[in-house]
Amino acid sequence: MAIVGRPNVGKSTLFNRLIGRRKAMVDDMPGVTRDRNYGNVDRFEVPFILVDTGGFEPETKDRLLQQMREQSRLAMNEADVILFVMDGREGLTPADMEVAEMLRRAEKPVFYVVNKVDGERHEAFMADFYALGADEVFPISAEHNRGIGEMMEAVVATLPHRGRAATDDEVTKIAVVGRPNVGKSSLVNRLLGFERVVANPVPGTTRDSVDTCFTCKGKRYLLIDTAGIRRKGKTTEKIEKYSVMDSLRSIERADVALIVLDASQGVTEQDEKIAGYVYEAGRACIFVVNKWDALEKDNSTIGRFVDSIRTEFKYLPFAPIVFVSALTGQRMGKVMDEVTDVMVQYSRRVTTSELNRVFSDAVENHHAPLSQGRRVKFYYATQVGTKPPTFVIFTNRPDGIHFSYERYLANRFRDAFGFAGTPLRLMFKGRER
């Protein structure tokens, strides 16, 4: 189901109302939503995927507005049902009539929805909208949840009944994160093979985190394009601050984060902060060095860049590095291969016997430093979780383990079991004997 209409008629407010949570950003300023924004809705009789779109301007020479219009067209083409939203306070406009004319040619069920009808004083304008030739026009207030039930009762009756989508456990969620203008949206479009999101040289084009489901080699994935994360001092606009928070939430719900770096600019301080967010969230990760085609290279260029990444991101020595060009498609196939390998390690579980064999050898070869003059004794280890792999180690001095020894144990586990691309979580619990 796609929601379309002119800018600032309340499409994102209706989107949030129908999915039951605040997913799309909402602001009084027109043009906040620029890409198609997807959400799964299972609150009604028939589950469906809801698509929010950027404002549709029939006639415009602005490049960004043209791209937003194209995203709306794509949403209409792939939808089974269309909600055409208009503004009850402004009344029927010539732009509304042009959009309605185009929707008539779509040959799909179209529901004419007049938003911002907050009370009887606004219902006087409803008669104008019947000039569009619709059998029924639905007056609603998405902000105040007025008229939504009557509208959805009619809409759901037209939805085709299909099987439910795969559960979250069956879908690998991939978040594409990085600074503004490093090519995240171009990377998403190249991975999917079509213009899924607006890619524009102007930094900050992407504002919402945009979800897209796709299948690759028989496996299901959810790709999340996020807004560029700027430094705190640079996020002056309220909308940009929403975008940064949305990006951080997207990292939290992902399995794998593609940390996108700009080859032409090298590693920056902000790249390190973004990677730190990924590490603290306990997500598997892959460094994707984009715009590799724009760099003049010699035989040692890759080696120098790898050394730079390993030096600046000392806490992510396990993360694979892929050098790509989203513009030309160079090495893009390698990205999904790495995602597959990393997910295997992120979800990996080792047996308690194997784990304790490696653990005992590690402790025997290198004893833990004394804690307040007392010897630290270890008893056994067990894996208690995955995504990321999490281990509990029982000891007589859980507060006396130095972080360097914790890192030593994690490295020994990696040497024995792999765990490429994923952080490890080690927890120490007390036990007297």
Q: Kindly state the average pLDDT of the residues 291-303.
A: 89
What is the reported pLDDT for 195?
54
What is the reported pLDDT for 101?
85
> Can you give the residue ranges of every domain in the chain?
2-156, 168-346, 352-430
What is the reported pLDDT for 218?
87
What is the reported pLDDT for 320?
96
What is the reported pLDDT for 206?
41
Helix axes 184-192, 333-346, angle to 10 degrees: 90
2-156 and 168-346: identical CATH topology: yes
Residues above pLDDT 90, as percent of the chain: 38
Q: Kindly state the average pLDDT of the residues 331-359.
A: 95
Q: Are 325 and 291 in contact (CB under 8 A)?
A: yes
Task: Give dist(CA 205, CA 216) in Å, integer.
Answer: 27
CATH superfamily of 168-346: P-loop containing nucleotide triphosphate hydrolases (3.40.50.300)
What is the reported pLDDT for 203?
44
What is the reported pLDDT for 258?
95
What is the reported pLDDT for 122?
66
Three-state DSSP at 373 gives coil
Model confidence at 53, in pLDDT bands (50, 70, 90)? confident
What is the reported pLDDT for 183?
86
Q: Are 22 and 249 in contact (CB under 8 A)?
A: no
Q: Which comes out higher in pLDDT, residue 120 or 202?
A: 120
Question: Please, which residues have CB within 8 angstroms of residue 133's CB and are 6 or more apart in sequence?
Answer: 100, 104
Which residue from 173, 177, 329, 307 is spatially nearest to 321, judged by alpha carbons? Answer: 307
What is the reported pLDDT for 196?
47
* pLDDT per residue as tens digits for the range 188-220: 888 888 654 444 444 444 444 567 888 888 889
Q: Are 235 and 207 in contact (CB under 8 A)?
A: no
Report angle CA 144, 150, 154 to the nearest 5 degrees: 135
Q: Given strand 219-225, what is the order of strands in its sheet?
A: 210-216, 219-225, 171-177, 256-262, 284-290, 321-323
Q: Are 366 and 360 in contact (CB under 8 A)?
A: no
Mean pLDDT of the chain: 81
- CATH 3.50.50.60 matches 2-156: no
Q: Kindly state the average pLDDT of the residues 121-139.
A: 83
Q: How many CB atoms are closer than 10 A to CB 255?
A: 22
Q: Indicate whether 23 pLDDT > 90.
A: no
What is the reported pLDDT for 49?
79
Rounded to the nearest angstrom, the gap between the alpha carbon of residue 429 and the centroid of all alpha carbons in its chain is 35
CA separation (Å) from 63 to 4, 30, 200?
19, 16, 9
* pLDDT per residue as tens digits for the range 67-94: 556 666 766 777 889 999 999 988 888 8
Model confidence at 119, in pLDDT bands (50, 70, 90)? confident
* pLDDT per residue as tens digits for the range 366-421: 998 888 788 889 999 999 999 999 999 999 988 888 889 999 999 999 999 999 99
- Tell me: cis bond preceding 109? Omega within 30 of 0 counts: no
Q: Kindly state the average pLDDT of the residues 218-245.
A: 60
CATH superfamily of 352-430: K homology (KH) domain (3.30.300.20)
Task: Give dist(CA 255, CA 165) in Å, integer.
Answer: 18
What is the reported pLDDT for 344?
95
Report angle CA 405, 410, 415 to the nearest 5 degrees: 125
Task: Give dist(CA 429, CA 38) in Å, integer.
Answer: 43
Rg (CA), the chain: 26
Model confidence at 246, in pLDDT bands (50, 70, 90)? low
Residue 277 corresponds to which tokens in the numbers above?
A: 């967010």
Q: Indicate whether 35 pLDDT > 60.
A: no
Considering only 27-41, 134-148, 150-164, 371-385, which range has the smallest mean pLDDT? 27-41
Q: Which of 43-47, 105-109, 223-227, 264-268 has the highest mean pLDDT?
A: 264-268
- Reported as type and span, the H/E element at residue 341 is helix 333-346
What is the reported pLDDT for 66?
58
Three-state DSSP at 259 gives strand
Q: Indicate whether 235 pLDDT > 90.
A: no
Q: Are 53 and 33 in contact (CB under 8 A)?
A: yes
Q: Indicate whether 166 pLDDT > 50.
A: no
Q: Kindly state the average pLDDT of the residues 29-34.
A: 43
- Length, in residues, of the chain: 433
First-to-last CA distance in the chain?
Answer: 61
Considering only 118-132, 233-247, 255-269, 404-418, which range has the smallest mean pLDDT? 233-247
Which residue from 263, 272, 320 is spatially nearest to 294, judged by alpha carbons? Answer: 263
Q: What is the 3-state secondary structure (H, E, C) of 19-52?
A: HCCCCCCCCCCCCCCCCCEEEEECCCCCCEEEEE
What is the reported pLDDT for 378?
92
What is the reported pLDDT for 398?
87
